[in-house]
Chains A and B, each alone.
Chain A
Amino acid sequence: MTQPRRTNPLSPLVQAVPAVPALAIFFIGPGAGFIERRGAPFILTIVIVLVVGFAVFAALSWLAWWRRTFWIDDDGDLRVDSGVIQRSARRLQLSRLQSVDVVTPFVARLVGLVELRVEVAGVGDSRIVLKYLTRAEADALRGAILELARRESAESSDGALEAPEIPLAAVPNGRLLAGLLLRSTTAALLLASVAFIAFTLWAQGPVALVLAMVTGGLPILSVVTQFLANYGFRVTRTPDGLRIRRGLLSTQVRTVPAARVHAVELVSPLLWRRWNWVRVTLTIAGVEGDELRPDVLIPVAPRAEALALIAEVLPGVDVDSLVFDEAPRQARWRSPFAWRYLACAITPQVIAARSGRITRRLGLAPHARVQSLRITQGPWERRLGLASLHADTAPGPVDVSARHLSYASVRPLADEELVLMRRARRVP
Chain B
Amino acid sequence: MGDVDDAFAPPADGWVPVSPRLATARRITLLLVYVVVLAGGAILWVSPLAPAWTIAYAAIAVVAFVWVWWLIGRRVASFGYAERDNDLLVVSGLILRRLVIVPYGRMQMVDLRAGPIDRWLGIATVQLHTAAATTDAAIPGLPPDEAAGLRDRLAARGEERTAGL
Which residues of A are at the interface with B, using a C-beta cutoff of 8 A? 285, 370-379, 382, 387, 390, 392-395, 407-412, 414, 418, 421-422, 425-426, 428
Contact = CB atoms under 8 A, between A and B. Distances in A.
Contact of A376 (B9, B98, B106): B98
A372 B96 contact: no
Main secondary structure of the interface of A (DSSP, over half): mixed
A394 B7 contact: no
B58 interface: no
A410 B7 contact: yes
B5 A374 contact: no
A411 B86 contact: no
Contact of B99 (A375, A422, A425): A375
A103 to B, nearest CB: 27
B135 A371 contact: yes
B5 A412 contact: yes
Contacts of A387: 7
B50 to A, nearest CB: 37
Interface string B26-64: 000000000000000000000000000000000000000
A414 B135 contact: no
Interface string B79-103: 0000000110000000111111111
A392 B100 CA distance: 10
A40 B132 CA distance: 64
A425 B105 contact: yes
21 contacts: A371-B131, A372-B101, A372-B106, A373-B101, A374-B99, A374-B100, A387-B7, A392-B134, A394-B132, A394-B133, A407-B7, A411-B5, A411-B6, A412-B4, A412-B5, A418-B87, A421-B106, A422-B103, A425-B161, A425-B165, A426-B164
Interface residues of B, number: 30
B106 A428 contact: no
A372 B164 contact: no
Nearest to A376: B98
B8 A375 contact: yes
A285 B101 CA distance: 21
Contacts of B161: 425
A407 B4 CA distance: 11
Contacts of A376: 96-99
A426 B106 CA distance: 12
Given A377-B7, A411-B9, A422 B134 contact: no
Interface of B: 4-9, 86-87, 95-103, 105-106, 130-137, 161, 164-165
Contacts of A379: 95-96
Contact of B132 (A371, A378, A425): A371
Closest 8 CB pairs of A and B: A392-B132, A371-B132, A408-B5, A371-B130, A372-B135, A375-B99, A372-B102, A410-B7
A414 B6 CA distance: 12
Nearest to B6: A411
B100 A373 contact: yes
Given A375-B99, A411-B4, 5 more contacts: A371-B135, A377-B7, A407-B6, A425-B105, A425-B106
B135 to A, nearest CB: 4
Contact of A393 (B86, B87, B132): B132
Contacts of A285: 131
B98 A374 contact: yes
A155 to B, nearest CB: 15
Nearest to B100: A374
A422 to B, nearest CB: 6
Contact of B96 (A377, A393, A425): A377
A394 B99 CA distance: 19
Nearest to A262: B131
Contact of B103 (A393, A407, A418): A418
B99 to A, nearest CB: 4
A277 B103 CA distance: 37
A409 B102 CA distance: 20
Contacts of A410: 7
A371 B107 CA distance: 8
A379 B94 CA distance: 9
Contacts of A375: 7-8, 98-99, 101
B98 A422 contact: no
A47 B4 CA distance: 82
A425 B103 CA distance: 11
